[in-house]
Structure 1
Amino acid sequence: MLEGVDRVVGLHLYSLMPAGQVGVRPGPSMAAADAFTLHLQGRGAHAAMPHEGVDTVLMAAHIVVALQSLVSRETDPVKTAVVTIATVQAGEGAHNIIPETAVLKGTLRTFEPELRERLMRRIAELAQGIAAAMGGSAWVEWKPGSPAVVNDPVLVERFQQVAKEVVGEEGVLEVPPVMGGDDMAEFLNRRPGVYFWLGAGSPSPEQNRPHHHPGFWIDDERALPLGVELLVRTVLDFLH
């Protein structure tokens, strides 16, 4: 797919940055983001007789809390990782039935491949251990995402010079890394390049909303032409 390609460049619109500004950083910029589904198996019972069952709701609660210890107690504090449980499903809506199954869905976000691999293994081990200790079982399904987005430091410096010619020195910001993921990493994992943030928000911060917010809005009339100019100028610079 990248035969004959020496360098890559891409952009991501950013609604919380005013249109006319550009953000970029050398090295790790966005995290690897892997989705997982934990399946819990217990034994259903009447709510009045919990001793007859294996409560997957209680099992899920213990697992959700314990997963946070993988970051707070098993990960070097100077390294970065996020484990999030975003969905908990159990039962069919009854008030008096202990469900025999539960499902947890979440994401793991990391920058370092070794930490990513270790936490993927530990999430499964922790869930299975807690489930077994409570008389049930657990298994995990992974939907691996892209690796971390890592910008080439030399090309970032060249891009910054190009961007300053377009938006001025004050408009080019060095931004901190974020834990969101992006499949631009697949290109940057194979070729050196730059992935930058293109401001697309309002000059008034109170009007801006983050991505995935129901009030999300971008100033596409200002941002998109600027994005095209930045991409074209950067490609021409990389060709020299």
Structure 2
Amino acid sequence: MFAAAKKIQPKVVEWRRDIHEHPELGNNEVRTAKLVAEHLKKLGIEVRTGVGKTGVVGVLKGGRPGGVVALRADMDGLPVQEQTGAPFASKVTTTYNGQTVHVAHACGHDAHVAILMGAAEVLAGMRDKIPGTVVFVFQPAEEGPPVGEEGGAPLMIKEGALKNPAPAAIFGLHVVPGEVGQLTWRPGPMMAASDRYEIKLKGKQTHGANPWSGIDIASMQAEVVLAFNQIAARQINVTRTPTILTVATVHGGVRYNIIPDDFTLAGTLRTFDPELRKDVMARAEKAVKGIAERYGGSGQIEWGTPNPVTSNDPALTAKMKPTLSRAAGGKIKDDIDYITGAEDFSYYQREIPGLFYDLGIGFPKGVNHSPFFNVMDESALEVGVRAQALTALDYLATAKR
């Protein structure tokens, strides 16, 4: 298997660079999905397309009876203007939320797709020895679907990605800045639950020279921002688990000397504890309402569709530790700190036991979602292929039939 992963490495690099140069936003991964589907079909793998909008599901039936396991990769890019300077850097633009934006693989999903394509080829080449079935899940819209659309892991699950056949476990990886080829994770909660929110504030428009004649909604929104910072830092037990409440966007007004009627704020809540999540949400709602009423206006907060906590099944994680160590040549760390980023891989983990782990790719100038994020050392991709293929093989070797 190791020799096969090494042999296919140049193709994995080629796929990754091609996908990187041609990124697509969530639910629009048409070119990427076609590339994946054609590759799987050439390998003699059963293929379903159009799952969860543009998702691709491949089913590789081994030559020996056994269980079913799934491997997942996400395919979407981000509305980011790439500044890596790579010869294959993206120059793609598209329309996003009514605006023309640049698109880039600023989170490494290009690497995830190429790695899983490589693992599929390695496993297909040894199908006669595989005791069971491997399901390949190439998922759209991990970063979230367009406004008003369904997408991502929830829609993949809804449309049968984990059925016919039904895997008993699922594995996934994510490239991150770190030691090249090192695999890292933690058992139990690893990545935060993510709740998107939007706040609508209503005041009374007035001239900027006469704020007493209306309702100063600009000051109102400033107090909301300060109150949110205070909730996270001063009103909850910070020693319990990490909790972050961020205001990321503030929109309101059209002219320097007019205090407007409306302001809209948006941001994200990151938590690891369900009860703490409820508590913070209640405090946020109380703060918005109370501050707005004190100014004589009104305010409400609306919560979007959440991503649950990405939580690695402890038994599965312990079972697969030797496998991941073998894949990485012993370069592993299984007690990393909590990660306050979120992952919709968590939806699969609510259905079946799952293990999600990170793969170090060197140290780019920026972290994931930065214009400077890039796979600095592509030799890490070979480790990713080994990890994906080995987790499937070793799991099936001991799976109950």
Say whether the fold is shared (TM-score over 0.5): yes
Matched, 1:73 2:234: yes
Corresponding residue number in structure 2 for 1:84: 246
Sequence identity (%):
35
Shift, 1:101, TM fit: 0.8
Corresponding residue number in structure 2 for 1:163: 324
Match of 1:222 among 370, 379, 400: 379
Match of 2:279 among 112, 118, 134: 118
Unaligned runs of 5+ in 1: none
Paired residue secondary structure (2:235): coil
How big is each residue's C-alpha offset from its partner over 1:31-71, in whole Å with a ceiling of 9 and x where there is no partner?
00111110100001011111111011100000100112222
Amino acid at match of 1:10: G
How big is each residue's C-alpha offset from its partner over 1:117-138, in whole Å with a ceiling of 9 and x where there is no partner?
2222221221011000110000
Amino acid at match of 2:251: Q
Q: Which moved more, 1:108-117 or 1:52-61?
A: 108-117
Q: Which moved more, 1:96-105 or 1:117-126?
A: 117-126
Residue correspondence of structure 1 range 195-206 to structure 2 within 5 A: 195-201=356-362, 205=363
State the distance in 1 between where 2:260 and 2:179 align: 49
Unaligned runs of 5+ in 2: 1-159
Work out whether residues 56 and 90 of structure 1, in 8 Å CA contact, stay in contact via their aligned partners in 2: no
Corresponding residue number in structure 2 for 1:172: 332
Shift, 1:208, TM fit: 4.0
Matched, 1:191 2:191: no
Paired residue secondary structure (1:17): coil
State the distance in 2 between where 1:21 and 1:138 align: 47
- Structure 1 runs of 4+ with >6 Å offset: none
Corresponding residue number in structure 2 for 1:148: 309
Shift, 1:191, TM fit: 1.3
State the distance in 2 between where 1:69 and 1:209 align: 29
State the distance in 2 between where 1:77 and 1:226 align: 36
Paired residue secondary structure (1:221): coil
CA RMSD of aligned residues (A): 1.5
Corresponding residue number in structure 1 for 2:172: 10
Work out whether residues 204 and 216 of structure 2, in 8 Å CA contact, stay in contact via their aligned partners in 1: yes
Corresponding residue number in structure 2 for 1:33: 194
Match of 1:104 among 265, 268, 277: 265
Amino acid at match of 1:172: I
State the distance in 1 between where 2:320 and 2:377 align: 22
Amino acid at match of 1:173: K
TM-score by length of 1: 0.92
State the distance in 1 between where 2:270 and 2:305 align: 11
Paired residue secondary structure (2:197): strand
State the distance in 1 between where 2:300 and 2:332 align: 46
Work out whether residues 34 and 142 of structure 1, in 8 Å CA contact, stay in contact via their aligned partners in 2: yes
Matched, 1:62 2:219: no
Larger fraction in strand: 1
Work out whether residues 42 and 135 of structure 1, in 8 Å CA contact, stay in contact via their aligned partners in 2: yes
State the distance in 2 between where 1:219 and 1:47 align: 51
Shift, 1:222, TM fit: 1.9
Match of 2:369 among 191, 212, 224: 212
Amino acid at match of 1:159: M
State the distance in 1 between where 2:315 and 2:365 align: 32
Work out whether residues 19 and 200 of structure 1, in 8 Å CA contact, stay in contact via their aligned partners in 2: yes
How big is each residue's C-alpha offset from its partner over 1:168-198, in whole Å with a ceiling of 9 and x where there is no partner?
22x1013211110000000112211210001
Shift, 1:232, TM fit: 1.2
